[in-house]
Amino acid sequence: MFKDKLTEAAKRIKIIETGRRLYERNLTVGTSGNLSIRTNEGILITASGTALGGLTLEGIVLMDFDGNELSAGKASSEKMLHVEIYKQRPDINAIIHVHPVYLTSFAACRLPLNEPIMSENILYFEEIPLADYAMPSSGVLVDNTVKFIDNHDVVLMANHGVVVCAKDIETAFLKTETAEYYAQVTINTKLLGGAKNLSEQDVQDLINLKKMANN
């Protein structure tokens, strides 16, 4: 069973702080996007229709692992995406789903982010795959996205946005920020005539370095 030293109240504050940081970094707009954290009791998730940049305690709902609300409020319409990711990845304790400008531009063009243009994107992601389009909040959207989650912490959702998973909400925020930076650099290199990609050997050396660091 999942155990964590942080109290549920502390996790609610973490969600509020992360929503504000996402807004300040232009990683979310309006009432789009949703955040969640796994708890001992279930899942804390932002409520439907809330603005991540101005979250309050009332804008966070506790639900079980079937998506049933256990506290006041209506959980985000994307709640089952969060539920299925937590079920599939016991190591994941926080999820961010947002629609940042550059990542969403790739999603709208139905392009994965997989060009080896700098060492950081290999070390952090290797690649960011693209899930096929489906209606927002639908079961098909969940199925299309979670099939990538076994091997990836960041997945683009065609014509939609991005979902980012991590061991905690701080790491999820940093991955979101870094992925958006990768997308922006990729677009800039195309405007400048195209990046000079790392060689296959360069990429393999970086992957080996990553494996050594994780052992």
Can you tell me which residue has the tokens 């683009």?
Answer: 156
Q: Which of 106, 128, 126 is nearest to 198 (CA)?
A: 126
Q: Quick one: pLDDT at residue 1?
A: 47
- 198 domain-assigned: no
Backbone angles phi, psi at 50, to 5 degrees: -90, 150
Tens digits of residue pLDDT in 85-138 = 999 999 999 999 999 999 999 999 999 999 999 998 899 998 999 999 999 999
| Catalytic positions | 78
Q: Quick one: pLDDT at residue 106?
A: 98
Residue 126 CB: number of other CB atoms within 10 A?
A: 16
- 16 domain-assigned: yes
- 151 domain-assigned: yes
CATH of the domain at 57: 3.40.225.10
According to DSSP, residue 128 is labeled B
pTM for the predicted model, two decimal places: 0.94
Output Rg (C-alpha) for the chain, integer angstroms.
17
- 189 domain-assigned: no
Number of folded domains in the chain? 1
Q: Which of 92, 66, 94 is nearest to 79 (CA)?
A: 66
- Is the distance from CB of 72 to CB of 56 less than 8 angstroms? no
The percent helix, strand, coil of the chain (3-state, each to 5) is 45, 15, 40
Res. 196: pLDDT tops 90: yes
Amino acid, single-letter form, for residue 16: I
When pLDDT is averaged across residues 10-36 and rounded to a whole number, the result is 96
- 190 domain-assigned: no
- 191 domain-assigned: no
- Is the distance from CB of 71 to CB of 28 less than 8 angstroms? no
When pLDDT is averaged across residues 14-37 and rounded to a whole number, the result is 97
Average pLDDT, the chain: 94
Tens digits of residue pLDDT in 144-186 = 999 999 999 999 999 999 999 999 999 999 999 999 999 999 9
According to DSSP, residue 78 is labeled T
Q: Which of 119, 141, 138, 120 is nearest to 130 (CA)?
A: 141
When pLDDT is averaged across residues 20-45 and rounded to a whole number, the result is 96
Res. 4: pLDDT tops 70: no
40: domain range? 8-112+128-168
- 210 domain-assigned: no
- 87 domain-assigned: yes
